[in-house]
């Protein structure tokens, strides 16, 4: 089997540059983060770090409430923490601290024992698509009747021997599983990462992918979660008379090169 050489990698990266990406729903939001300080207690983390974390959490919650604007805030707010998880950075592509106000008299904190609080103001770029997916998984956000749910899954493929094995994997995703798109975001010798836009979350996607694989393409799941899939790829086209034929190069369609 011909190996994936430097020329193949260069061609793949050139093709990657020609494929337009799906526009992400990024929302810039400012939020205040304040953590209470106590005279007789040493904080578990530096106050500024804790205040930035709280500000980012508030920014993500604000976007979540925008997406749930048609629902009663009193009903959805108590469920947001469980739906979004403890790490707001999962939903933030970048952030910066606009103001480090430092230690100030208590204004934002509701802790009656706080002697002061540490305050920062953060500007965060929140990925509303990821927030939307988390809300959908938790059942807080329901797609309108007739509209399919959408998931963005990071698929990491290992063991790719050449470009043909990568192409077989990608065509299986598109032609056999029926995902909306499978856009490569990273290609290197033996490994590829694709951003998959699908009606299936990661766990269901990898099950469908394994079942749909044509003869000669063996896919072994390594790790799966709703947002991320890792699998090992083995491709032996010489033993697969029904394997997928090579497609024509067509960069006018986002699902083909």
Burial class (CB in 10 A: 0-12, 13-18, 19+), 154: middle
pLDDT in tens, 34-49: 999 987 777 777 999 9
Burial class (CB in 10 A: 0-12, 13-18, 19+), 159: middle
- Max Cα-Cα span within the chain: 75
Question: Bridge-partner residues for 188, per DSSP?
Answer: 191
Model pTM score: 0.54
Q: What's the CA gap between 214 and 5, in Å, rounded?
A: 25
Q: What's the CA gap between 136 and 141, in Å, rounded?
A: 5
What is the reported pLDDT for 241? 44
What is the reported pLDDT for 148? 58
* Higher local confidence (pLDDT), 59 or 132: 59
pLDDT bracket for residue 20 (50, 70, 90): very low
Question: Bridge-partner residues for 122, per DSSP?
Answer: 31, 97
Parts of the chain belonging to CATH 3.10.129.140: 26-138
Contact 202, 230 (CB under 8 A): no
Contact 103, 116 (CB under 8 A): yes
> For residue 247, is pLDDT > 60?
no
Location of structure tokens 């909306």: 180
* Higher local confidence (pLDDT), 22 or 213: 213
pLDDT bracket for residue 94 (50, 70, 90): very high
DSSP per position, 188-209: ETTEEEEEEEESS-HHHHHHHH
pLDDT in tens, 103-145: 999 988 888 889 999 999 999 999 988 898 888 888 888 765 5
CATH class, range 26-138: alpha beta
Q: What's the CA gap between 183 and 175, in Å, rounded?
A: 14
């Amino acid at each position: 089997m011909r190996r994936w050489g430097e020329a193949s990698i260069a061609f793949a990266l050139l093709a990657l540059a020609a494929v337009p990406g799906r526009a992400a729903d990024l929302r810039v939001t400012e939020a205040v983060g304040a953590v209470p300080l106590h005279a007789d207690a040493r904080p578990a983390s530096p106050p500024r770090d804790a205040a930035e974390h709280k500000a980012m959490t508030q920014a993500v919650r604000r976007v979540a409430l925008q997406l749930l604007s048609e629902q009663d805030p009193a009903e959805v707010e108590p469920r947001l923490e469980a739906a979004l998880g403890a790490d707001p950075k999962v939903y933030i592509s970048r952030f910066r601290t606009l103001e480090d106000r430092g230690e100030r008299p208590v204004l934002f904190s509701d802790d009656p024992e706080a002697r002061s609080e540490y305050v920062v103001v953060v500007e965060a770029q929140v990925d509303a698509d990821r927030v939307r997916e988390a809300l959908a998984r938790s059942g807080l956000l329901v797609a309108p009747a007739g509209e399919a749910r959408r998931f963005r899954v990071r698929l990491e493929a290992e063991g790719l021997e050449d470009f043909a094995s990568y192409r077989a994997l990608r065509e299986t995703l598109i032609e056999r599983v029926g995902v909306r798109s499978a856009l490569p975001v990273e290609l290197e010798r033996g490994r590829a990462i694709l951003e998959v836009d699908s009606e299936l979350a990661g766990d269901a996607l990898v099950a469908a992918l394994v079942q749909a694989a044509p003869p000669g393409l063996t896919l072994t799941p390594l790790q799966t979660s709703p947002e991320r899939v890792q699998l090992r790829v083995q491709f032996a086209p010489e033993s697969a008379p029904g394997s997928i034929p090579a497609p024509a190069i067509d960069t006018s369609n986002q699902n083909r090169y």
